[in-house]
Amino acid sequence: MRALLPICLPLIAVSSTPTLAAEFLGPLPYLQAADSPLSIASPGYVLQNMENGVFGGPGIGSNLFSGSIIGPGGLTDSVDGDDGSVNGSGTLGRSLFNVAGGNGVTITFDAAILGSLPTEVGIVWTDGAGSTLFEAWGPDDLLLGTIGPVSIADASVSGTTGEDRFFGVRDRGGILKIRISNSAGGIEVDHFQFTVGGACPASPDFNRDGLVNAADLAILLGGWGACPRTGCCTGDLDSNGHVDASDLAILLGAWTV
């Protein structure tokens, strides 16, 4: 019988740094500014609701401009609450319109002017036809991901608001550009918003179902530990750069039955 010689293979340690996926938000029903899932209490939060006739500004580029804003009228589909009441109609507000829905609305950010790239960006789609696609890019113009295409249009062009949906993205590495488009007709959007700086959750109701319960606890525990990039991360309710016992205490203090 031939003796078997032991073979020793060197152990090679392989390590990798996980790539953190951007967090995409939407499509979410949206009738007023309070429906935003972004960090609206953050000092770096900016909302442009078109009601002052202004879109864009320093550090913000787009294929559209303030002249693309349409005013009150029978075909206008502004965010419902912009006229002072949530009543199922957006005809008394203002919105941003592009007749070429396939080209959509593209918005870019200049970190040199803003101080840094935004860590959260969102926009509200209010009208269009066909299917809707939301896309976002990070630094170096790398695609972070997409939402859709999704079918949310209601076939009405008379300012109905039940179809209005928020689309957004959160990424601590920064967001360079977003685009929203539809496959047919024109496109109408409103409530462009973003946060510059660490985007911290404003509420322990992470999944925005109106309750603080086991689902939110699971989200918090899933992010336990140090935030892997600069700024805040989902679950970091006290904005200290970690998801830890203090955040757990905040969540439990808001627990609903």
Handedness of CA 93, 87, 39, 227 (dihedral sign): negative
Tokens encoding 212: 């603080």
CATH class of the region 23-196: mainly beta
The pLDDT, as a whole number, for residue 6 is: 47
pLDDT beneath 70, residues of the chain:
1-21, 198-202, 228-232
**What residue segments make up the domains of the chain, in order of their start?**
23-196, 200-257
C-alpha to C-alpha distance for 31 and 120, rounded to whole angstroms: 20
pLDDT on residue 232:
59
Tokens of 215: 């689902």
What class is the 200-257 domain?
A: mainly alpha
pLDDT of residue 13: 37
> Judging by DSSP bridges, how do beta strands 242-243 and 118-138 pair with one another?
unpaired
- What is the pTM (predicted TM-score) of this model? 0.74
User: Hey, how many other C-beta atoms are within 10 angstroms of the C-beta on 115?
Assistant: 11
Q: For position 10, what pLDDT does the model report?
A: 41
What pLDDT does residue 16 have?
A: 32
Helices (DSSP H) in the chain: which residue ranges?
A: 111-114, 214-222, 245-253
Q: By the 8 A CB rule, do 93 and 72 touch?
A: yes
Residue 97 and residue 158: Cα distance in Å, rounded? 14
